[in-house]
Each structure stands twice: as structure tokens, then as C-alpha cells.
Amino acid sequence: MAKVRPNFKPTRRRLFLTEWRKHRQLTQEQLAERTGLSQGMISQLETGRSDFTGNLLDLLSDALMCEPADLLVRNPADAEAPWSVWDTLDVPQQRLAVEMMKTLKRASGE
């Protein structure tokens, strides 16, 4: 019996590493220094030439003062994204925004 091989290539997940690094106003060299990685490794991660692990995400997110998931899903340069607006709100405004969203959800019948 012949082995069945998948006919697809695994896709690499994109990191918003460059965007977060620039958001924090760091060079690749400075981020490398903060993480203990080489500048070459930072470059490879940014260009997708090197894969990443959960431990690496933890290390990078600590150095960039964000959550590991932010590196996967949040582009800090996207001024129109909901989190960009959220980040500009103080705590009382965030509470009000949550209440407004709950009201909107109820009004839409969901």
C-alpha cells in the first residue's frame, strides 16, 4: 500500500514583529539586545525566513511590552483597528465603551 502524502504546503503564520518593533521605536539590534537573540535571527523572523515557537513569542512579547497573541493578530500601526482606539481610552472610557457595545448587541437582537 502506498503512503498518502498531503498535497499542500503548511503555511507560515505571519508575525507583526516589524510593526511592534517600530511601534516601540527599536532597531533590530536593540530588540536583539533585549531578547538575547542575534540581529540576524530578528531579521529572519521579520522576513518569515525563520519559524517561531511559543517560547520565542513569549521572549519577544516581553521585550516589546505586549502579549504574545498581539504579535500574531495585532498590527499596532493600524490606526483604524478597534484596539488602536481602545488603547487611547482611559479606564472610565473603556468601561463606557463596553456598556455601549453591550447595548448595541442587545439592540441588534443577539
pLDDT at 93 over 80: yes
Cα 23 versus chain centre, distance: 12
Tens of pLDDT, residue by residue over 12-49, are 567 999 999 999 999 999 999 999 999 999 999 999 99
Judge whether residue 8 has pLDDT over 70: no
CATH homologous superfamily of 12-74 equals lambda repressor-like DNA-binding domains (1.10.260.40)
Q: Is the pTM of this model over 0.75?
A: no
Return the domain boundaries, the chain.
Answer: 12-74, 78-110
Contact 68, 54 (CB under 8 A): yes
User: Which pLDDT band, with edges at 50, 70 and 90, does 108 fall under?
Assistant: confident
Q: What is the mean pLDDT of residues 73-100?
A: 90
Encode 69-101 in three state secondary structure: HHHHHCCCCCCCCHHHHHHCCCHHHHHHHHHHH
